[in-house]
Amino acid sequence: MAVNDRIGYWNKTRGLMFTMLALWVFFGFIVHMFVTSLNEIVILGFPLGFYMAAQGSLIAFVVMLFWFARKQNAIDEEFGVAED
Amino acid sequence: MATESVAAGRGDFVSNLGRIYTIYTGGFIAFIILMAILSALGVPNRIIGYMFVGFTILIYAVIGILSRTMQVGEYYVAGRRVPAIYNGMATGADWMSGASFVGMAGTLYLLGYDGLAFVLGWTGGYVLVAILVAPYLRKFGAYTVPDFLSARYGGNLARFIGVIVLFSCSFTYVVAQIYATGIISARFLGLDFNVAVYVGLAGILVCSMLGGMRAVTWTQVAQYIVLIIAYLIPAIWMSTIKTGIPIPQLMQGQALQGIAALEAAQGIAVGHATPFSHGGYNALNYFLLILCLMVGTASLPHVLMRYFTTPSVREARVSVAWSLLFIFILYFTAPAYAAFAKWTMLDLVASGLTPENIADKASWMFRWAAADNSLVQICGKAAIDAAAVAAACGEAGVTNIAFANINLNADMIVLATPEMAGMPYVISGLVAAGGLAAALSTADGLLLAIANALSHDIYYKMIDQNAPTARRLVVSRVLLVLVAIAAAYVASTKPADILAMVSWAFSLAAAGLFPALVLGVWWKRANSPGAIAGMIAGFGVCLYYLLGTRYGAVGFYEMWSGLSTATPEAIAKFEELKAAYAAAAPDAQAAAWAALDKHAQSIANWWGVKNLSAAAFGLPVGFLVMYVVSRLTKEPSSELQNFIEELRIPRGNTLMEEKSA
């Protein structure tokens, strides 16, 4: 594999990593900093701030990871470094 | 039985996994129904409890024995042939400990919103596992986490420090698991606690000793199925009784409304859903705890090593996603479980609970209080029987027992919920089997991580590099048994701080391993002196904070009083107790010191950070020291830089090829 390809591959991989990291910070921390105001909104009995910590962020993490596995695999294939 | 084909050819077994575990699940459900029928026919509860525990352990033992192996690759990494989805299930069981199963909903019951820090922390960490660490360790092809440290940071010093961190975070954790198996066996089988601990030990060894990672993998899948069924059924039951709809996660909203209304009626000011107000969790500690648990997840060796077993890097990534999905199923049920249990209790109190009618309305409390005085307290005293409750409440001037008068221990809430909500005994037996599955599966993973580090890293790599395969595997098994016995012995002494120590494992792993693992992949300039200095500094600071604030609180506070968040009143009280200690007569000194130490523990801190979140200091120190020392010393050799290049690319063979038997 050519050096340029390696750099290109790693740049894309790193970009995806930072996207995931940003989403992780958002769902792990940022959204819960607004819990008091979010609790004003009540859906199906759930105060929204409580809901985000009990279920919402967890769902986001699971979806993120399946999305990441697909996305990273697409990058691998694009640069021809996927496993056979 | 569903597990017979484990003995058949490997390929055959792997290609039939779906069928085998479907039959197994069906068989387990049929077993539950059979138990329900037997119970209805009048078989005593105690026999039902024995059958639940005995039957499930028997299955794990059969799987463990059928998966025995004498091949190094099978023993350490299950031959790297575990499909992503099954590795995910095994990781779920590996991850969810006795504490998660038994204690998590109880913590949420007591702490309300603030307990959700555990739910978030113990799920979000998998994002870090997937994007930063696991796929690259899989590509490297290690048998253990210290293996990677040694290859990346050239030499046995990095390996040795890795083993120390691994040992200190895994050993206390495994003690807690054996302790949990002891508690569950003692309560449901009526065994003496000391005997129960060794029964638990036998259950653990039979799964892991003969087959190593291969046996542990296939038993963990079986244990996941048991524990998730056992967790969901009571929650679904309560939701159906209370709301008529069997989806507890959805109906939790209604439960939260019910709780809020009843809390208001009881005059409870700080409600279940109120953030940052229970158990000393202000916003700072809430977020730091989430961070420490998440980063700890991505550094705990017994979790990371599960991803060494997948067939490819691609499968390792998908496997992390499956792991989190399987863990998510339990963790998003836990808050609902807690809400329904709390609603049930509030309803009970609102129906007019008095010392006179408590024997009719909630006699289950007496049974738990009799098992252990600290589990159920009413009006400040153990609720052993109606007379004890009447006496305690009479003394306190309480005629109607309020919610605030009842003090339930966090660890009993899940186990007692079936009785609390009036479910038949079969459900209690099922919950016991589930709790046991959770504790056993985690103990297996941890023991294997410790024994592998000792046998592979210390014995094979550092002491005798020419050891033949057979001897390596024998050494590994002997060490496994020795570590297990040591852990069971420590558990049988009932160490007081066992639960605190489990939470410490996360901080220790995070501070000691995370910077070296992450920078090892993501920063080529990271070198050996930097990693060694970073691991020692991060781990050291974390350990100092943990031990200092807990066991040397007086000295810690005096040295760092400028950083403490103690209020003027607390400082005055400290000075007063200190003077009292200095003035105490020789025979009163111990008591005066105990009072001083207890108070000091509440104010010995840096900026008010709880000792649970010690990695809040160790982690940045570890990163910083590693960065600075790496910058000041020589950059890694070009061979090592090529090695990192290869590590980053999925294609190609694993980098560490092992001569196999």
DSSP B425-465: HHHHHHHHHHHHHHHHHHHHHHHHHHHHIIIIIIIIIII-T
Kindly state whether B307 is in contact with chain A, defined as any CB-CB distance less than 8 angstroms: no
Report the pLDDT averaged over residues B458-481.
88
Q: Which residues of B touch A28 (CB under 8 A)?
A: 120, 124, 127, 290, 294
CA nearest neighbour of B172 among B502, B430, B415? B502
Say what the pLDDT of residue B498 is.
63
Say what the pLDDT of residue B208 is.
82
Q: Which residues of B touch A49 (CB under 8 A)?
A: 273, 275
DSSP B13-30: HHHTHHHHHHHHHHHHHH
Query: Per-residue confidence at B656, pLDDT binned at 50, 70, 90?
Result: confident
- Which pair of tokens denotes residue A22? 């940003």
Q: Average per-residue pLDDT in chain B?
A: 89
Report the pLDDT averaged over residues B642-647.
91
Say what the pLDDT of residue B659 is.
43
- Which pair of tokens denotes residue B599? 């108070």
Say what the pLDDT of residue B495 is.
74
Say what the pLDDT of residue B70 is.
85
- Decide: A63 and A50 in contact? Cβ < 8 Å: no
Dist CA B303 CA B292 (whole Å): 16
Least confident of B159-168, B198-207, B313-322: B198-207
Query: B348 CA to chain A: closest CA distance, Å?
Result: 21
Residues B412-451 pLDDT 10s? 888 888 888 889 889 989 998 999 999 999 999 999 999 9
B259 half-sphere exposure, CB direction, 13 A CA radius: 30
Query: Per-residue confidence at B499, pLDDT binned at 50, 70, 90?
Result: low
Report the pLDDT averaged over residues B388-401.
88
Report the pLDDT averaged over residues B87-91.
95
Question: What angle is formed at CA B633 by the lines to CA B162 and CA B635, rounded to 5 degrees?
Answer: 85
Residue B497 has pLDDT above 70, yes or no: no
Mapping DSSP onto H, E and C, the string for B493-543 reads CCCCCHHHHHHHHHHHHHHHHHHHHHHHHHCCCCCHHHHHHHHHHHHHHHH
Say what the pLDDT of residue B2 is.
38
Say what the pLDDT of residue B219 is.
94
Instruction: Count CB pairs under 8 A between chains A and B.
Output: 136
Tell me what percent of chain A is helix, strand and coil, each rounded to the nearest 5: 80, 5, 15
Say what the pLDDT of residue B8 is.
42
ipTM: 0.96
Report the pLDDT averaged over residues B350-357.
88
State the distance between the two ends of chain A, measured CA to CA, in whole angstroms.
16
Say what the pLDDT of residue A20 is.
97
Say what the pLDDT of residue B203 is.
81
Least confident of B21-30, B69-78, B253-262: B69-78
Find the residue in A nearest to B257 (Cα): A45
Q: What percent of chain B has pLDDT over 70?
A: 97
Q: Please return the burial class of B277, using the count of CB atoms within 10 Å of its CB with bins 0-12, 13-18 and 19+.
A: middle
Least confident of B55-69, B181-195, B234-248: B181-195
Kindly state whether B330 is in contact with chain A, defined as any CB-CB distance less than 8 angstroms: no
Query: Given the structure tokens 């031990």, which residue do they identify?
Result: B547
Residue B9 has pLDDT above 60, yes or no: no
Decide if A83 and B130 are in contact by the 8 Å CB cutoff.
Answer: no
The three-state secondary structure class of B8 is coil
Residues B274-301 pLDDT 10s? 888 887 788 999 999 999 999 999 999 9
Q: Which residues of B touch A43 (CB under 8 A)?
A: 253
Phi-psi region of A47 (alpha: psi -120 to 50; beta: other; left: phi over 0): beta
The three-state secondary structure class of B114 is helix
Query: Per-residue confidence at B11, pLDDT binned at 50, 70, 90?
Result: low
- Decide: B334 and B99 in contact? Cβ < 8 Å: no
Task: Encode burial over B278-294: b for 16+ CB neighbours within 10 A, e otherwise.
Answer: beebeebbbbbbbbbbb
Query: A45 CA to chain B: closest CA distance, Å?
Result: 4
DSSP B251-317: HHHHHHHHHHHHHHHHT-SS-TT-SS-STT--HHHHHHHHHHHHHHHTT-HHHHGGGGSSSSHHHHH
Residues B14-61 pLDDT 10s? 788 899 999 999 999 999 999 999 999 989 988 898 899 889 989 999
Residue B500 has pLDDT above 80, yes or no: no
Q: Which domains does chain B have, with CATH numbers?
A: 31-341+425-490 (1.20.1730.10), 348-420 (no CATH), 520-647 (no CATH)
DSSP B345-404: HHHHHHTT--TTTHHHH-THHHHHHHH-TTTEEETTEE--SHHHHHHHHHHHT-SSPPGG
Query: Per-residue confidence at B496, pLDDT binned at 50, 70, 90?
Result: low
pTM, two decimal places: 0.92
Residues B506-564 pLDDT 10s? 999 999 999 999 999 999 999 999 999 999 999 999 999 999 998 889 999 999 988 99
Kindly state whether B295 is in contact with chain A, defined as any CB-CB distance less than 8 angstroms: no
Domain chopping of chain A, boundaries: 3-78
Report the pLDDT averaged over residues A56-82.
95
Provide the residue count of chain A. Answer: 84
Query: Given the structure tokens 């084909």, which residue do they identify?
Result: B5
Residues B586-630 pLDDT 10s? 888 899 999 999 999 989 999 999 888 999 999 999 999 999 999
Considering only residues 14 to 73 of chain A, which have any Cβ-Cβ distance to chain B shorter than 8 Å? 14, 16-17, 20-21, 23-24, 27-29, 32-33, 35-36, 39, 43-47, 49-51, 53-55, 57-59, 61-62, 64-66, 68-69, 72-73
Say what the pLDDT of residue B3 is.
40
- Which pair of tokens denotes residue A6? 């390696």
Q: Which residues of A touch B519 (CB under 8 A)?
A: none
Least confident of B49-58, B170-179, B196-205, B235-244: B196-205
Neighbours of B586 (CB within 10 A): 6
